[in-house]
Amino acid sequence: MTPIVWLLVAIIAGAAAYLVGWPAWRSYRGREARDSNSERYLAWRGRAVRGQSSLREGMTADERRRIVAGALLGFVAVVALIAFFATS
């Protein structure tokens, strides 16, 4: 393929990786922050349950799937960018 096609593939794959993975990552991190704030508030009020592990539930299946898809698209973007530099 010509170098410009590789560059276009890299740009499109990079943008797709961002659009797919970033919202899922923000959702996961936001939920983690809310859970952490809830745990601190309950401990401050003296209502924290002793012996209970964290309330954190981790990533949902949809978030995990979207982050993996974003990572794969990011990998495709990096490979296409390397191919662009190799062919130009």
Residue 48 CA to residue 39 CA, distance in Å, equals: 7
pLDDT over 90, % of the chain = 58
Tokens 């309330």 sit at which residue?
Answer: 55
Residues 10, 75: contact at Cβ < 8 Å?
A: no
Backbone angles phi, psi at 40, to 5 degrees: -65, -40
Confidence of residue 31 (pLDDT cuts 50, 70, 90): confident
pLDDT for res 52:
57
pLDDT at 76 over 70: yes
pLDDT at 37 over 70: no
Query: Region 32-52: what's the mean pLDDT?
Result: 69
pLDDT for res 53:
55
